Amino acid sequence: MTADKPEIMPISRAEFNSLALFQKVSFESLAGYLLNCAIIKASPHDVLISPQAEKRRVLILIDGLLEVRMNGPEGFYLDDVSPGACVGEMSVFDNADPSAWVIAKKPSRLLEIEPSIALAMLNASHDLCLNLLHILSQRVRYSNKIVYADQHHIRCIEENAMVDSLTGLHNRRWLEEMYTREMQRSNSGNFLLVAFMIDIDHFKNINDNYGHLAGDQVLISVARALVQCLRPSDMPVRFGGEEFSVFLPGTTPENAAKVAERIRTAIEKNSISLQDGSIISVTVSVGYAERTDGDSVKSLLDKADQALYNAKNTGRNRTCFCLGTPPA
């Protein structure tokens, strides 16, 4: 009669105590469960966990290095997994496919725990449950940081897509969203709203005589002067080319006349230094119109544009209200 083969622990007591999941957990309380666990070895690039894997398991890294990626082994990098950490536990507890890929980054040795053994261990040790909760809470915090960073990055991209890179003013894409929102608010509450259309006089001559870089300097200078003449609540936009628009919420036609004249005067008095040392000045024509019942963004801007057309046809460097008659 031969003696039974002695049972061998997959990990030593020292290794057990070094693993984050087993901190302050009695080795003896889980020794019987550990006998049913296995040690696996992984080479670099070995996929240990993936959404396609049929086998679900908890893996605890004893030594080596792993990495977590989304959208495949060559996909978006999320994080490294260092010795003592565990992976795969969420798919075991949720009884669902993993959501990421875990790949060996260096030669690694791991403790493999089958789902039924992992659940039995949790039932046997209160400290193990606390350790797992701590690990999962850290993981949630890290995930939240990633989500926040991604959202911030997306907001920055969206905001940059709505800003004119030359003047720093918002562009037509922003206009379509924000002007529509302001128009709906003004129509529903019968709030005052005035729209400006502003055009740089003889801008083509500036480009022809001084070059397009000089034209860019003029656009930047006019945009800066425009902002300085407006309230923070006003909505200036580079409409296109040498043309600008503004929505002025809560503004009467009488006050709009004063703002329009302030803009015209400020730009007329502004001296613009070009890169070649030349100093030039420009003027603008301003057309403005008041929102009336039933107006849309297009109809209000069309009225302001008609007023701008009248201002340019009656001598330029002037302001006109609606069909050219300024308010008293």
119 falls within a domain: yes
Judge if 139 and 186 occupy the same domain: no
Judge if 146 and 189 occupy the same domain: no
Domain with 192 in it: 172-321
Domain count, the chain: 2
Judge if 143 and 229 occupy the same domain: no
Judge if 146 and 179 occupy the same domain: no
Residue 80, amino acid = D
292 falls within a domain: yes
- CATH number of the domain encompassing residue 205: 3.30.70.270
Judge if 206 and 263 occupy the same domain: yes
Judge if 210 and 113 occupy the same domain: no
- Name 91's bridge partners: none
267 falls within a domain: yes
Query: Which one of 15, 242, 254, 268 is the catalytic residue?
Result: 242
pLDDT in tens, 3-54: 454 568 899 999 998 888 888 999 999 999 999 999 999 999 999 999 887 7
4 falls within a domain: no
Show which of 91, 125, 153 is a domain's final residue. 153
Judge if 79 and 132 occupy the same domain: yes
HSE-up of residue 143 (Cα within 13 Å, Cβ side): 11
CA distance 164 to 148: 26
pLDDT in tens, 283-305: 999 999 999 998 999 999 999 99
Q: Are 82 and 39 in contact (CB under 8 A)?
A: no
8 falls within a domain: no
The pTM score is 0.55
For residue 1, the surrounding DSSP H or E stretch is none
pLDDT in tens, 72-87: 888 878 788 888 888 9
pLDDT band at 158, cuts 50/70/90? low
Say whether 242 is catalytic. Answer: yes
Judge if 139 and 176 occupy the same domain: no
pLDDT in tens, 162-199: 889 899 999 998 998 899 999 998 988 889 999 999 99
In whole angstroms, what separates CA 288 from the centre of its chain?
35
For tokens 């659940």, what's the residue? 119
Q: Give the pairing type, strands 319-321 and 284-290.
A: parallel
Phi, psi values for residue 250, rounded to 5°: 65, 30
Judge if 80 and 179 occupy the same domain: no
Q: What would you report as the CA-atom Rg of the chain, rounded to the nearest whole angstrom?
A: 34
pLDDT band at 324, cuts 50/70/90? very low
Q: Are 59 and 83 in contact (CB under 8 A)?
A: no
CA distance 67 to 87: 10
Give me 220's structure tokens. Answer: 């930047």
- CATH number of the domain encompassing residue 33: 2.60.120.10
